[in-house]
Amino acid sequence: MASKEAYSPLPPWQRTDYCGTLRANDAGRDVALLGWVQTRRDHGGLIFIDLRDREGIVQLVLNPEISAGAHEAGSQVRSEYYIAARGKVVLRSEGTVNAELPTGQVEVVVNALEIVNTSAPPPFPIDGDTATAEEIRLKYRYLDLRRPEMQRNLRARHQAIKAIRDYLDDNGFVEIETPILWKSTPEGARDYLVPSRVNPGKFYALPQSPQLLKQLLMVAGFDRYYQIARCFRDEDLRANRQPEFSQIDLEMTCPRPDDVMSIAEGMVAAAFRRVLGVEINPPFIRMPYAEAMERFGIDKPDMRFGLELKNLTSAFEGTSFKVFADVLARGQSIYGINLPGQHQLSRRELDEITETLRSRYAMGLAWVKVTDSGWQGPIAKYLGDGERERAAGVASLKPGDTLMMVAGDAAAVRPVLGEIRLQLGARFNLDSTGERKFLWVVDFPLFEYSEEDKRLVSVNHPFTAPNPDDLAVLDKNPLDARALAYDMVLNGQELGGGSIRIHSRELQLKVLELLGFSREEATDRFGFLVDALTYGAPPHGGCAFGVDRLCMMLCGTDSLRDVLAFPKTGKAVDPMSGAPSEVDPRQLKELAIKVTA
């Protein structure tokens, strides 16, 4: 057994093969293996060990008649011991073949075995899927990463990034790294700040994205740039959001939106081809933002199923139903979803949805069920024949269907119904078709109004170019201006997006003014960019794609943490290292920082 005196930093012999690569055509070969003990089974005479490495598992056979020393050493091993074994590959006898293992036709008869390192009993089994609480898995992440599922996921991530790099290289892009320590700029979320010891009282910021830097690279003449960029945002965390993440960031000079989208489509197709061996066939459909919101209530619609929103406003004109009449009198709207008869909701389930709308959004749900004998439901008696007929036509109602309606301001109603649509899709497994439905959402608004800040804010970012057809409305009604922006969506998940950028100094200053920056403030915060735009800046645009989300989709998991080596919890904590943590007071003194919390 391994001991302190016997310790060596080197393995006892050099590996000839990975465990999971051995096959029937290797029978008769002498091999040397290294790996972890998955299981040990002592059958009295023979000992069987399942040995695991990154490529998989192979069965070892320890026979005292072949090697008493190896058999003795094998009797001492336990789960997750790291061992070295040498022996001969043989075919398994008939009836002992394990069809569930790629190596199941062979086993290795061991003639030498050494324990390289022992292991404490692991806190959870490392044999595939585990029901262990995620907090424990993250605390012992180095063990969690040994699981075959996590090994597959991170190797798939590597393959995806390799395919993307190869594709972009083939298309003339140059990989350029940009700084991690840079200037704080207002881009939406809070910055992570880094104090400067040599410049007391001043701070760097970790980049939320390389947006401004890649624009400067276009001004510098590199024409096509990309990098796998680390990005940092200090924001309230939600499901599938991490404080640090990776982007595939790229920029081009003189593109039109279709040029950027074509490159992005080829890039994603290359990743799917390399990782899954499937062909994605661009071009993807384009859908204007206004259409997406009208039909699906969301700017990243899941196209795998119907249940589209229907505008029923005109169908209920002149209604005597007071709730609807009051809404229409205020110039607001009525939208609905037709749930087909094969998908039934009970009265209790409809009441639960109604209560959720009331408590969360201060909205009500009006619903009716269509039967052969007419409409049934709480509001059916208030609706006349004419409005029933018009609503049935708009929503394509048939006997057995349920019409679910919400009334109010369209901008508030549509997202709520869009959320109900997604919940219904999940409840009835309409989103489990196995299809991959890609699309681009285009023609986003350039601005939206923030009730919290009482000012205009950028829908994308302040450097997004307005649609040239809408330049005239910037002075009259900037909320009507569309952006040259685009998002790629897959099955209701935003994979990434981008825009054509502003390359005119005056237009950039105008947009910043509309966002509430005076010329002095704009020059102070973005002077380096504004100055750069005065030196023959070419038209440019690009996009950024979330590496983590793309890999999540490729691996078929619903958690970003399953494709990250060392992720953080929903509270931005690393249970393994204990980060974030307090630091030595001497460090704070050197940085001229006083902690007040």
Q: Could you give the C-alpha distances from 402 to 236, 331, 448, in angstroms and in order?
A: 37, 26, 34
pLDDT of residue 129: 65
Same domain, 367 and 408: yes
Poorest-pLDDT segment among 127-131, 373-377, 495-499: 127-131
- Is 579 contained in some domain? no
pLDDT of residue 127: 81
DSSP letter for 22, please.
-
Would you put residue 80 in left (φ > 0), alpha (ψ -120 to 50) or beta? Answer: left
Same domain, 262 and 345: no
As a whole number, mean pLDDT of residues 121-145 equals: 89
What DSSP assignment string belongs to 49-76?
Answer: EEEEETTEEEEEEE-TTT-HHHHHHHHH
pLDDT of residue 175: 98
Distance CA 553, CA 492 (A): 11
Distance CA 265, CA 148 (A): 30
CATH of the domain at 454: 3.30.930.10
Poorest-pLDDT segment among 86-90, 180-184, 307-311: 180-184
Indicate the number of domains in the chain.
3
Closest CA to 538 of 219, 211, 216: 219
Q: Are 558 and 236 in contact (CB under 8 A)?
A: no
Burial 551-577 (b: 16+ CB within 10 A, else e): bbbbbeeeebbbbbeebbeeebbbbbe
- Is 294 contained in some domain? no
| Domain end among 117, 133, 164 | 117
pLDDT of residue 128: 66
CATH of the domain at 89: 2.40.50.140
Q: What stretch of H or E contains 89?
A: strand 82-91
SS3 552: helix
What DSSP assignment string belongs to 461-506?
Answer: -TTBPBPGGGTTHHHH-GGGPBBSEEEEEETTEEEEEEEEBP--HH
As a whole number, mean pLDDT of residues 442-449 equals: 96
Q: Which segments of 363-516 are extended strands (E)? A: 366-371, 374-376, 402-408, 438-442, 447-450, 455-458, 485-490, 493-500
How confident is the model over 521-572, as pLDDT tens digits?
888 889 999 999 999 999 999 999 999 999 999 999 989 999 999 999 988 9
Which amino acid, one-letter code, is at 253? T
Does a cis peptide bond (omega within 30 degrees of 0) precede residue 283?
yes
How confident is the model over 191-245, as pLDDT tens digits?
999 999 999 999 999 999 999 999 999 999 999 999 999 999 998 777 778 999 9
Residue 4 has pLDDT above 50, yes or no: no
Q: How confident is the model at residue 369 (pLDDT cuts 50, 70, 90)?
A: very high
pLDDT of residue 565: 96
Distance CA 268, CA 274 (A): 10
DSSP letter for 187, please.
S
Q: Are 423 and 302 in contact (CB under 8 A)?
A: no
Q: State the burial class of residue 194 (Cβ atoms within 10 Å of its Cβ: 0-12, 13-18, 19+).
A: middle
As a whole number, mean pLDDT of residues 426-435 equals: 91
Q: Are 57 and 19 in contact (CB under 8 A)?
A: yes
Q: Are 463 and 211 in contact (CB under 8 A)?
A: yes
Q: State the burial class of residue 129 (Cβ atoms within 10 Å of its Cβ: 0-12, 13-18, 19+).
A: exposed
Closest CA to 540 of 224, 78, 123: 224
Q: Could you give the C-alpha distances from 476 to 453, 481, 556, in angstroms and in order?
A: 21, 10, 47
Domain limits at 109?
19-117
Q: What is the mean pLDDT of the chain?
A: 94
Q: How confident is the model at residue 189 (pLDDT cuts 50, 70, 90)?
A: confident
How confident is the model over 15-25, as pLDDT tens digits?
999 999 999 99
Q: How confident is the model at residue 262 (pLDDT cuts 50, 70, 90)?
A: very high
- Is 129 contained in some domain? no
- Is 224 contained in some domain? yes
- Is 130 contained in some domain? no
Helix segments in 115-253, DSSP class H: 134-139, 141-144, 148-170, 211-219
- φ, ψ for residue 359, nearest 5 deg: -80, -35
Residue 597 has pLDDT above 90, yes or no: no
Same domain, 421 and 445: no
Q: From the DSSP assignment, how many helices (H) and strands (E) are in the chain?
A: 16, 22
Same domain, 230 and 336: no
Distance CA 150, CA 135 (A): 16
- φ, ψ for residue 52, nearest 5 deg: -125, 140
Same domain, 533 and 513: yes
- Is 76 contained in some domain? yes
Same domain, 252 and 284: yes
